């Protein structure tokens, strides 16, 4: 896990390169370096040493006419190394970085089809005069870029890239609008008009001489399943292979464990080969039953159980929130970032690598909203406000409208245009377009919505949360449930349980067969804290923020966000987070 910056056909002063790299040193505190290939090619890298801890594995790494920078992990690198050695590769390291270097040398850009992992990659080929920027299939690793008439600039964070460019960037009203309605900014958009986020499953090809570029998609979540059913033995064998590869590391690995099925199954698999495995959990102080459940479960597997007790009284939420925003490339309104940061900080005291069950709900269809079927959660309330009823009517327009507000009910599109000045142009079509792009009518049951969530909620929120909050503490977190091979298998094969009210049958059945049935039906709260919202404090902060002083908000914005609603606190919180992010990062 690392971070990098780079510029092609640019000539930033050395102090600018150093300042830009310094902004991501938390991603790689073990080694940092800046090199220049040519007078107009400059690269900076910050390394967190995981595979091959020696200096010889530091980056940027070069092979003849190729320069490589790589952030992430290639899980099948040992298998690839055997194939590459037969082709004539001579390895100087035991790192997966060199695997990428030799893979590109022999296979060109098609090497992407061979690697399994999470990554953002920069490859400069000075023989072909081409630069490639590559992002993994679901965007687990960040990669931002900026182009003008003749340069390409890129970085692992928006803050670093903004500093590298050295120009005043323009806040995007459209991106801010999507943030209020989603809780995140969807790729390829960013908070700034001029900066873009490379989309998951894509690579960018930049011509170093002609100063032109194009993007290509190299993978997507399957849009159609076959009639061939899931074979549980095949799936179990695939999962075991994935877990074995995710366990490869030259440093010790920990596990983020909740009381849910996803991480419990990971604990069961990891315990087979790692009896010294340490698990880490964050629960509220009033969850005594959960604590007992976790202790009994880890004792049954002979694992070390570390439980962090949290709540408003135990944690300085405002102090942590300031740190969370500082390390967030873009604004995110989900309070789970606070929990993720806090637990990552605890784990990083003794570990550099952890495994997490994030992504299990998207891949195995575990979210409650997959079973609602046109029943929004707000409809369970006896009394709804006028706004709540308007949201319910909005949901009736299509399954995607319904799904959107089951996931994140905050604002209606027309409300956004009443909040921002310089008309945000948030239309119903603009609101739903990212969902429509990911939706496939050819997928059966809830798989169609799972695909929507993988490309939206998971890619833009879950992956970003895990990466940025762990890397803020120099911790690498691996997500086996988001492995490309697993997603391909699940989505291509038909699932007899997809249309039943039976979430995660495969995981439950395997834990049951392992004699762990008594641990299957505990109510899960995840890594959650009960945060006390002070809406009056938030409103006062917004009133005095640069969002208001700079004229981004209309005069009646407060009237809009404080409309009577079941979600009034969350509506205010969203704008508060945006105001805080702008103040901290402006």
Q: Kindly report, residue by residue over 119-139, the tens digit of the pLDDT.
A: 999 999 999 999 999 999 999
Rounded mean pLDDT of the chain?
A: 91
Rounded percentage of the chain residues whose pLDDT exceeds 70: 92
Please report, to the nearest 10 degrees, the dihedral formed by the alpha carbons of residues 22, 28, 34, 37 taken in order.
-130
Q: Kindly report, residue by residue over 97-108, the tens digit of the pLDDT.
A: 999 999 999 999
Q: Is 474 left (phi over 0), alpha (psi -120 to 50) or beta?
A: left
* CATH classification (class only), 232-365+453-519: alpha beta
Strands (E), 270-314: 278-284, 304-310
Helix H or strand E encompassing 514: none
pTM for the structure as a whole = 0.95
Q: Kindly report, residue by residue over 445-501, the tens digit of the pLDDT.
A: 889 999 999 999 999 999 999 999 999 999 999 999 999 999 999 999 987 665 556
Tokens 């590869």, residue?
245
Helix H or strand E encompassing 153: strand 152-155
Looking at residue 529, its pLDDT comes to 60
**pLDDT, average across residues 205-223:** 96
Q: Kindly report, residue by residue over 342-367, the tens digit of the pLDDT.
A: 999 999 999 999 999 999 999 999 88
Q: Name the burial class of residue 555, with classes exposed (0-12), middle (13-18) and buried (19+) by CB atoms within 10 angstroms of its CB.
A: exposed
pLDDT band at residue 205 under the 50/70/90 scheme: very high
The residues spanned by each domain of the chain are 2-217, 232-365+453-519, 369-442+533-585
The CATH number of 2-217 is which of 3.60.20.10, 3.30.70.980, 3.40.50.300, 2.40.30.60?
A: 3.60.20.10
């Amino acid at each position: 896990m690392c971070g990098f910056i780079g510029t092609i056909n640019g000539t930033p002063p050395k102090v600018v390169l150093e300042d830009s790299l310094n902004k991501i040193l938390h991603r790689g505190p073990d080694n940092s370096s800046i090199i220049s290939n040519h007078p107009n090619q400059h690269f900076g890298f910050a390394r967190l040493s995981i595979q091959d801890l020696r200096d010889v594995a530091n980056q940027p790494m070069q092979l003849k006419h190729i320069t490589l920078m790589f952030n992430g992990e290639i899980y099948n690198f040992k298998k690839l190394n055997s194939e590459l050695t037969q082709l004539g590769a001579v390895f100087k390291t035991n790192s997966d970085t060199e695997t990428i270097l030799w893979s590109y040398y022999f296979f060109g850009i098609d090497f992407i089809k061979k690697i399994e992992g999470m990554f953002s990659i920069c490859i400069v080929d000075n023989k072909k005069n081409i630069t490639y920027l590559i992002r993994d299939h679901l965007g687990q690793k960040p990669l931002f870029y900026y182009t003008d008439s003749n340069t390409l600039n890129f970085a692992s964070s928006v803050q670093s890239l903004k500093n590298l460019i050295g120009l005043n960037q323009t806040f995007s009203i459209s991106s801010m609008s999507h943030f209020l309605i989603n809780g995140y900014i969807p790729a390829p958009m960013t908070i700034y008009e001029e900066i873009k986020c490379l989309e998951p499953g894509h690579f960018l090809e930049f011509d170093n001489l002609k100063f032109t570029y194009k993007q290509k998609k190299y993978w997507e979540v399957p849009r159609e399943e076959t009639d061939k059913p899931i074979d549980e033995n095949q799936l179990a064998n695939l999962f075991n292979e994935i877990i074995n590869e995710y366990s490869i590391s030259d440093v010790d690995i920990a596990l983020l464990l909740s009381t849910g099925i996803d991480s419990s199954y990971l604990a069961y698999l990891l315990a087979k080969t790692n009896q010294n495995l340490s698990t880490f959990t964050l629960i509220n102080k009033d969850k005594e039953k959960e604590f007992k459940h976790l202790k009994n479960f880890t004792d049954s597997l002979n694992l070390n159980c570390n439980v962090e007790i949290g709540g408003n009284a135990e944690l300085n939420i405002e102090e942590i929130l300031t740190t969370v925003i500082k390390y967030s490339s873009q604004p995110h309104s989900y309070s789970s970032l606070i929990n993720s940061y806090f637990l990552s900080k605890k784990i990083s005291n003794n570990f550099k690598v952890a495994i997490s069950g994030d992504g299990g709900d998207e891949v195995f269809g575990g979210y409650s909203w997959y079973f609602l079927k046109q029943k929004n959660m707000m409809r369970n309330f006896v009394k709804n406000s006028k706004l709540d009823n308007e949201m319910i009517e909005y949901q009736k327009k299509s399954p995607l409208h319904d799904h959107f507000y089951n996931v994140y009910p905050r604002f209606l599109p027309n409300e956004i245009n009443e909040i921002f000045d310089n008309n945000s142009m948030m239309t119903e079509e603009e609101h739903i377009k990212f969902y429509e792009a990911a939706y496939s009518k050819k997928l059966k049951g809830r798989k169609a919505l799972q695909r929507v969530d993988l490309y939206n909620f998971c890619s833009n929120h879950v992956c970003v949360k895990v990466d940025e909050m762990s890397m803020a503490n120099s911790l690498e977190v691996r997500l086996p449930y988001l492995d490309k091979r697993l997603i391909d298998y699940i989505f291509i094969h038909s699932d007899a349980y997809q249309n039943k009210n039976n979430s995660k049958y495969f995981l439950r059945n395997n834990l049951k067969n392992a004699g762990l049935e008594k641990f299957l039906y505990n109510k899960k709260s995840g890594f959650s804290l009960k945060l006390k919202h002070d809406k009056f404090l938030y409103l006062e902060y917004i009133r005095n923020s640069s969002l208001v002083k700079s004229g981004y908000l209309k005069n009646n914005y407060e009237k809009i966000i404080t409309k009577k609603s079941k979600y009034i606190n969350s509506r205010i919180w969203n704008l508060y987070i945006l105001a805080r992010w702008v103040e901290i990062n402006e």
